[in-house]
Amino acid sequence: MSSPTTTPRRRHVLDLDDWSADELRSLLTIATQMKDILERPVKQVPTLRGKIVVNMFWEDSTRTRSSFELAAKALSANVLSLGAKDTSVKKGESLVDTVRTVQALGADYIVMRHGQSGAPYLVAQHFRGSVINGGDGRHAHPSQALLDLFTMHERLGELADKKVVIVGDILHSRVARSNLWALTTMGAKVVVCGPPTLIGPAKYWQSTWPKVEISHSLDHAAEGADVLMALRLQHERMEGGLLPSLREYSRRFGLNATRVASANSNVIVMHPGPMNEGVEIMPDVATGPHSVIETQITNGVAMRMALFYYLATGSEQV
């Protein structure tokens, strides 16, 4: 009689391209329990007591960096936060040298954000502990996609056959890519929407995600949607000639009350932040009854606690 098989414990979280639906459901279960912990008078458990978490953020960040720091502290870890200016990078130190230094100081976990796609993968090759990708170039932002998934699941339940519309600068978005992996794995019907210059060729997306729908009309895409997610429009896209004007973009692709009204009655409105209110999302929609944007921020701490817990224990039992 053969022994039962077990799923090997993950060492890193670099992207979501190799996560199964069962693993994602386990993480959602853990995040729910972590959110319960955060609602207690004492918002702390001893899971990572004695462990060291180093946040290495080579790009500016408010939500992600502070969320990971709060998550690690809620699990009783010791936390060190480093930006590029806090290291010897300007003196010629390489990223690998910095990782070796952090490792010699006793780090157990590294949370890495970097402007170059693939940087967390390089760190993972040279670090004995666990690496979590906090966003790398245009490539991936797995923890953002996971907290988005958690927020959708809280409000909508199972996501199979739910219509999720992601609108904005899809081509340059690491948030969109990681969300595509998570949402398609869970069976959602995903529509990516934006001007052709910010989406690129349909075959580029459909070669990897064949069931993803491409749309260049938000008025059409929003009809019957269960989720409307706007992505931040970076001003350099207009400066690079990819858009005629911010006003034109807002008119055609901004989330406004009319487009929200065309979606399902229980539609949720999401944005990973930071927002350009009045451009990709109107102020009344960002703070309206369908918005879960503040909930996303709250859920970010719970989901990042869940990630640390899952890496530390491999279990969904808290």
Known catalytic residue at 113: yes
Q: Which of 12, 32, 51, 64 is catalytic?
A: 64
DSSP 8-state code for residue 241:
T
- CA angle centred on 107, ends 102 and 109, rounded to 5°: 115
Q: Say whether 64 counts as a known binding-site residue.
A: yes
Q: Say whether 46 counts as a known binding-site residue.
A: no
Known catalytic residue at 63: yes
Q: Which of 113, 153, 259, 290 is catalytic?
A: 113
- Asked whether 79 and 44 are in contact (CB, 8 A), the reply is no
Q: Say whether 273 counts as a known binding-site residue.
A: yes
Known catalytic residue at 49: no
Q: Say whether 25 counts as a known binding-site residue.
A: no
- H-state helical runs in 7-107: 21-38, 63-74, 95-104
Q: Say whether 44 counts as a known binding-site residue.
A: no
Q: Treating both helix axes as pointing N-terminal to C-terminal, what angle do 293-313 and 63-74 enclose, rounded to 10 degrees?
A: 50
Residue type for position 120: P
Q: Say whether 317 counts as a known binding-site residue.
A: no
Q: Which of 51, 141, 189, 304 is catalytic?
A: 141
Residue type for position 24: L
Residue 156 corresponds to which tokens in the numbers above? 């909508």
Q: Which of 10, 25, 43, 63 is catalytic?
A: 63
Q: Is the bond into 274 cis (omega within 30 degrees of 0)?
A: yes
Known catalytic residue at 62: no
Phi, psi for 93 (deg, rounded to 5): -70, 135
Q: Say whether 237 counts as a known binding-site residue.
A: no
Known catalytic residue at 73: no
Residue type for position 190: V
Q: Say whether 113 counts as a known binding-site residue.
A: yes
- Asked whether 257 and 222 are in contact (CB, 8 A), the reply is no
- Binding residues for carbamoyl phosphate are 63-64, 113, 141, 144, 273-274
Q: Which residues are catalytic?
A: 63-64, 91, 113, 141
- Binding residues for L-aspartate are 91, 174, 232
- Binding residues are 63-64, 91, 113, 141, 144, 174, 232, 273-274
